């Protein structure tokens, strides 16, 4: 049984990979290319949240803190220190992981669980937002702008299709990580912590270290999403980077798609992107409409599909 499910999942992953690789051949409008690029971006952000929230059961309301650190770190290094984009990106991932490790260390050391962990992550994101917004070095209220210098060395592409392939590669890496988590000893520990932390502790699992590893990994991936965002839009400000909206975006995709599943965040991100386009087509581009639809969808999912859209497939298999 286990063996068969394992093979089916690999097949689905392979088919999806082929589909996404071939997709640009069939897209000729920049609109749809942008749509799929952003869907994959939200899949990346969602997967980073999923590592901690889905597999580890540690619901974070402040994933923007890692996302923003990645975005700001890469921007500051490039703009203020003239460091090239690739090195900046590498350092920024490290910085994101470090922030994750720090927040994880203090909040897990003092035993914050459940809602309290969620609230403390939100508070950390707000602290970073205020700091970045107040500090001239990080552009204060104006945000950070990277100069347009196209070229692979600067991680900027004139042909936007390369951004698509870049984010596709990043999503593929996170899918591999999620798949590894599902099949590794570390993942088993993490899921044990989610299901019953006290029992896991009693069985000899070092819950603190497992959770710390999860939040560090999760933060590094969120920072990666931030770096991509920075290179794609070349602009970020404190509200985009550290505001609650980005934290909510991070948790929506895995919530809708299915928490603690390999494919959930990707499916959720594509579903949300589609819903957003559908509502703007149906009701118009009034601000707030797509988020309104997200909120309603989230309520429906929580009520009827606690395992997300993935629950639909799992029930049948």
Partner 1 sequence: MLHIINFAHGSVLMMALYAGYFLFSLFGVDPYVAILILAPLFFCLGYALQRFVIAPISFGKEQNVLLVTLALSIILDNLALFLWTSTTRSIDVSYAENLVDVGVTMVALPRLVALGAAIVIGLLFWLLMTWTDLGKAIRAVARERQGARIVGISVDHIFAMSFGIGTACVAIAACLLLPTFYVTPQVGNAFILIAFTTVVLGGMGSFIGALVAGLLLGIVEALSGILLGESLGQIGIFLIFILVLLFRPTGLFGQRAL
| Contact yes or no for 98/285 (Cβ under 8 A) | no
Rounded CA separation 173/167 (Å) = 10
Rounded CA separation 203/193 (Å) = 11
Nearer to partner 1, 24 or 139 (CB): 139
Nearer to partner 1, 109 or 149 (CB): 109
Q: Residue 134 interacts with partner 1 (CB under 8 A)?
A: yes
Q: Residue 30 interacts with partner 1 (CB under 8 A)?
A: no
Please give the distance of CA 92 from its chain centroid, rounded to a whole number: 15
Residue 293: other Cβ atoms inside 10 A: 18
Residue 112 corresponds to which tokens in the numbers above? 């914050």
Nearer to partner 1, 152 or 292 (CB): 292
Rounded CA separation 233/104 (Å) = 30
Q: Which of 119, 145, 234, 275 binds partner 1 (CB under 8 A)?
A: 119
Q: Residue 299 interacts with partner 1 (CB under 8 A)?
A: yes
Q: Which of 116, 142, 233, 278 binds partner 1 (CB under 8 A)?
A: 116
Q: Residue 97 interacts with partner 1 (CB under 8 A)?
A: no
Q: Which of residues 259-298 bind partner 1 (CB under 8 A)?
A: 286-289, 291-292, 294-296, 298
Q: CB-based contacts of 209: which residues, under 8 Å, 6+ apart?
A: none
Q: Which of 33, 44, 59, 175 binds partner 1 (CB under 8 A)?
A: 59
| Contact yes or no for 254/264 (Cβ under 8 A) | yes
User: Side-chain half-sphere of 86: how many Cα atoms within 13 Å?
Assistant: 5
Per CB under 8 A, which region of 40-48, 64-72, 117-125, 202-210 contacts partner 1?
A: 117-125
Q: Residue 108 interacts with partner 1 (CB under 8 A)?
A: no
* Nearest Cα to Cα of residue 59 among 240, 169, 218, 245: 218
Interacting residues toward partner 1 by CB under 8 A: 59, 61, 106-107, 110, 112-116, 118-120, 122-124, 126-127, 130-131, 133-134, 140-141, 244, 248, 255, 286-289, 291-292, 294-296, 298-299, 302-303, 306
């Amino acid at each position: 049984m286990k063996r068969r499910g394992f093979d089916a999942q690999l097949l689905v992953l392979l088919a999806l990979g082929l589909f996404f690789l071939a997709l640009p051949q069939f897209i000729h409008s920049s609109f749809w290319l942008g749509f799929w690029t952003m869907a994959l971006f939200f899949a990346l952000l969602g997967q980073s949240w999923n590592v901690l929230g889905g597999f580890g059961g540690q619901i974070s309301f402040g994933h923007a803190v890692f996302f923003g650190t990645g975005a700001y770190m890469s921007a500051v290094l490039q703009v203020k220190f003239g460091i090239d984009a690739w090195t900046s990106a590498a350092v920024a991932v490290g910085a994101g992981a470090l922030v994750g490790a720090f927040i994880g260390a203090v909040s897990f050391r003092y035993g914050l669980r459940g809602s309290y962990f969620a609230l403390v992550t939100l508070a950390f994101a707000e602290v970073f937002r205020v700091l970045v917004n107040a500090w001239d070095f990080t552009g204060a209220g104006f945000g950070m702008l990277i100069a347009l210098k196209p070229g692979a060395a600067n991680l900027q592409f004139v042909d936007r299709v390369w951004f698509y392939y870049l984010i596709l590669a990043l999503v593929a890496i996170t899918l591999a990580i999620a798949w590894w988590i599902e099949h590794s000893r570390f993942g088993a520990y993490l899921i044990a912590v989610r299901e019953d932390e006290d029992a896991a502790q009693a069985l000899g699992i070092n819950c603190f270290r497992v959770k710390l590893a999860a939040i560090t990994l999760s933060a590094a991936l969120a920072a990666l999403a931030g770096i991509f965002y920075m290179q794609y839009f070349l602009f970020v400000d404190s509200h985009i980077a550290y505001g609650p909206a980005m934290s909510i975006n991070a948790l929506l995709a895995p919530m809708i798609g299915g928490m603690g599943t390999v494919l959930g965040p990707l499916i959720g991100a594509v579903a949300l992107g589609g819903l957003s386009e559908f509502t703007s087509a149906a009701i118009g581009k009034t601000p707030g409409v797509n988020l309104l639809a997200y909120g309603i969808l989230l309520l429906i999912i929580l009520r009827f599909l606690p395992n997300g859209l993935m629950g639909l497939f799992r029930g049948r298999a």
